[in-house]
Structure 1
Amino acid sequence: MRVQAVVVTYNRLAMLQRLVPRLQEIAGLERILVVDNASTDGTGEWLAAVADPRVRHETLATNTGGAGGFHHGLGWAVREGADLVWLMDDDGLPAPDCLDLLLQRQQRDGLEFCGPAVLAEQDPARLCFPIRLPGGTRVVHEMAAVEAAAQDGLIDDVVIPFNGVLVTRGLVERIGLPREEFFIWGDDVEYLWRAQRAGARIATVVDAHFLHPATDDLGTPMMRGRTTYNHTPSDLKHYCMARNNTLNLRDYRGWPFVLLFWLKTVWFYLFTRPQPARIPLSARAAAAGLRGDFAGHRRYLR
């Protein structure tokens, strides 16, 4: 099996400089393909100086966001002949045995889209991103809860996409590449839901670990803890989230779920974290996405 890593980076040279050496230490990686989203912090120059023929990089003409980066990188790996592609952002850090554990379960169980437990770097006992356990509405934040819920070491039908996930060439050929026009936020969920719709075998391998900095206020409790909302202080991230989440829910869950998301958005920014200006911003973003306009986020780029 030809296994290649794809790393998407943008202006985080210090983090890339700890990730690439970790990947170089991991046996079994044929190539490490780095997609540089037009970084301006010396990333391209540093990559050009890496004296390892396995490490290759391509610098894009403009910043295409994580969505564009993974679209480009996954396509690149498939063209290079990869049978399995290991996808990650520049700020993650796989445990030394992460890939081995993923490969063991991928081959044993025929997984087409599998990933590690993504742990908060500041506190590895907690998940970086809360997950909803299959078969119910329970959302968990603690690694212990994931371990308790696992069946034969797996959480079926759950992964945190693009954070150390393995994707098979066959699945990519079946469902295509990530939606590059999404820029950031929601492209990973869309790809997961597309894979689920295609009947892919998906799972989190609980013993495989991947560290990621815990950022923003993902899963902020609202309505007295009965539900959560993916709040972020960044207008850029929020614009993309409101636009892309509206489209994902419409395409994969239906209009009632879109309405529920909008009720939560209005409630959150009127009562939970009062920021009334976020409501018209959200509406503009969703309307743009529904009419196929994916350029609006660029006004928030810095």
Structure 2
Amino acid sequence: MSATAAGIDGLCLVIVTFNRSGYLRRLLESVAALDPAPARVLVVDNASTDDTAAYLSAVTNSFPIPLTVRSLEENTGGSGGFAAGIQSGLDLGAEWLWLMDDDVEALPDAVAALGKWTGKYDCIHGRRFDEAGHPFFWQHRFIPLLGMHVPVRGNVFRDSPVFETNVGCFEGMLINAAAVRSIGLPDPRYFINGDDEIYGWLASLEHKVVYVNDFVLRKVRPQKQIDLGIRHLNDSSDLSRFCAMRNRGHTAGYLRAHGRFSRAGFAAGTLLTAAKELLRLAAVERRLSGAGSLWRGWRESRTILKDSQWQPMPPLSRTEPDRPAAPPRPANTPE
């Protein structure tokens, strides 16, 4: 389970896509140019209604790397898509899983860049360029007291090419299959927003989670953003805002399960999360019409917090009948 001259042993690239065939096409073109290449590419089509299925059908047999497509019957969001993709990758014998959204491109030497770290770490994130070609800001730590991640100031690579953290990102996370089995699959109840954050934290409880000073991806979807000095704030969607607040209920559940929940601290984190989303609306998107989605999400988070039957996703070494099924898209929530 280490890097070899041919790349990373048993590497499966897992891509989750939904109604963005143009971005998916560009991503797969960049994956085809990877040198060295992954052993397999697995695309999870999250019930797309555009021409994604037709494109994948046309490219599967001619793709230079073994390509597997898993088509879901409903849109389960990023969290449900990655849960399905990781499970399929494990079923296909993957030793490493490289998780990726559909709106990025892989740099040609990305596998080699990540591979040099696989002998030391089980959960690895490489750096990304943004759509304009500038380094994309991603240096955070998860604060259990608040139940949220916060940015880390300064150049985290000033003294070392490795920054140890405790938060994850499914836009490029490379994770060892043994680590996945020990912590379980991503929680599909999140749908989007916060699923990778908590997954990275869960991984950090048993494994080192790192951010390395090697550029491996380039974001291709343009986003509005402002520079706040200690972090960048990007535009979002009402669905993402709803889930940001709703999913705090699930995050509280994980904190409780690991004895790290503080009612006062978590309440403060909820206020900070809402404030950040309101700032995003006002300063980046220049509107406040999406504020209602925060209120609806908060109310739903309260329902989750009161659910005495809530259980975390189990490790894969346990039996799986009690695993929550991937939920449908949250109802009455605008995109």
Whether the TM-score (by the shorter chain) exceeds 0.5 is yes
1:285 aligns with 2:293: no
Is structure 2 residue 306 aligned with structure 1 residue 298?
A: no
Instruction: State yes or no: 1:208 paired with 2:215.
Output: yes
Choose which of 123, 126, 131 in structure 2 pairs with 1:116: 126
For residues 115-136 of structure 1, give each alpha carbon's deviation from its aligned partner in whole angstroms, at most 9, with x where no partner exists. 1012312242342xx423699x
Structure 1 regions of 5+ residues with no counterpart? none
Deviations 1:154-175 (A, max 9, x none): 1112564211221111101111
Q: Does 1:69 align with 2:59?
A: no
C-alpha distance in structure 1 between counterparts of 2:183 and 2:215, whole Å: 26
Aligned residues: 287
Letter in 2 for 1:248: T
Higher strand content, 1 or 2: 1
Consecutive unaligned residues in structure 2, runs of 5 or more: 1-8, 144-149, 283-287, 311-323
Contact 2:140 2:165 in 1 (8 A): no
- Name the counterpart of 1:244: 247
Letter in 2 for 1:165: M
**CA shift at 1:72, angstroms?**
0.2
Q: What residue in structure 1 maps to residue 180 of structure 2?
A: 172
CA contact (8 A) 1:117 1:210 kept: yes
Residues 214-259 of structure 1: CA deviation (Å, up to 9, x unaligned): 5365x885xxx8x889785522111111011343256335223321
1:23 aligns to 2:31 (yes or no):
yes
Matched, 1:54 2:54: no
Is the 2:191–2:329 contact (alpha carbons within 8 Å) kept by the matching residues of 1?
A: no
157-166 or 10-19, larger mean C-alpha shift: 157-166
CA distance in structure 1 between the aligned counterparts of 2:329 and 2:99, rounded to whole angstroms: 27
CA distances 1:101-158 after superposition (whole Å, capped 9, x unpaired)? 1111112x2x11001012312242342xx423699x7634x8xx2432x51x111125
What one-letter code is carried by the residue in structure 2 that aligns with 1:235?
D
CA distance in 2, matches of 1:123, 1:214: 11
Structure 1 residue 63, shift from structure 2 partner = 0.5
Q: Does 1:235 align with 2:238?
A: yes
| One-letter amino acid matched to 1:29 | P
TM-score, scaled to structure 2 = 0.75
Amino acid at match of 2:45: D
Rounded to whole Å, the distance in 2 between the matches of 1:183 and 1:209 is 26
The residue that corresponds to 1:139 in the other structure is 152
SS in structure 1 at match of 2:157: helix
Partners of 1:173 and 1:5 in 2: how far apart?
17
Determine the C-alpha separation between the residues in 2 that align with 1:270 and 1:189.
20
Question: TM-score, with normalisation over the residues of structure 1?
Answer: 0.82
Match of 1:6 among 14, 35, 50: 14
Task: Give yes or no for contact 1:13–1:43 (8 Å, CA) kept in 2.
Answer: yes
> Bigger relative contact order, structure 1 or 2, given CA contacts below 8 A and separation 6+?
2
Alpha-carbon contact 2:168-2:198 (below 8 Å) kept:
no
1:42 aligns with 2:55: no
Tell me if the contact between 1:159 and 1:165 (Cα under 8 Å) persists in the aligned partners: no
Q: Which has the higher helix share?
A: 1
Q: CA deviation at 1:64?
A: 0.5
Distance (Å, rounded) in 2 between the aligned partners of 1:203 and 1:183: 25
Question: Which amino acid is 2:197 matched to?
Answer: V
Q: 1:158 to 1:37 in 2, by over 3 A?
A: same
For the structure 1 residues 231 and 262, does the alpha-carbon distance in structure 2 shift closer, same or farther, using more than 3 Å as the test? farther
Task: Report % sequence identity.
Answer: 27
User: Which one-letter code corresponds to 2:127 in the other structure?
Assistant: A
**8 Å Cα contact 2:75/2:329 also seen in 1:** no
**Does structure 2 retain, via aligned residues, the 8 Å contact 1:246–1:258?**
no
Q: Provide the rounded CA distance (Å) in 1 between the counterparts of 2:278 and 2:172.
A: 36
For the 8 Å contact 1:115–1:203, the answer to whether it is kept is yes
Aligned partners of 1:285 and 1:296 also within 8 Å: no
Cα 1:284–1:3 change in 2 (3 A) is same
Q: Which has the higher mean CA deviation after the structures are superposed, 58-67 or 273-282?
A: 273-282
> Partner amino acid for 1:155?
F
Q: Which moved more, 1:80-89 or 1:282-291?
A: 282-291
3-state secondary structure, aligned to 1:106 = coil
Conserved 8 A contact 2:12-2:40: yes
The alpha-carbon distance between structure 1 residues 270 and 248, as it changes in their structure 2 partners (threshold 3 A), is closer
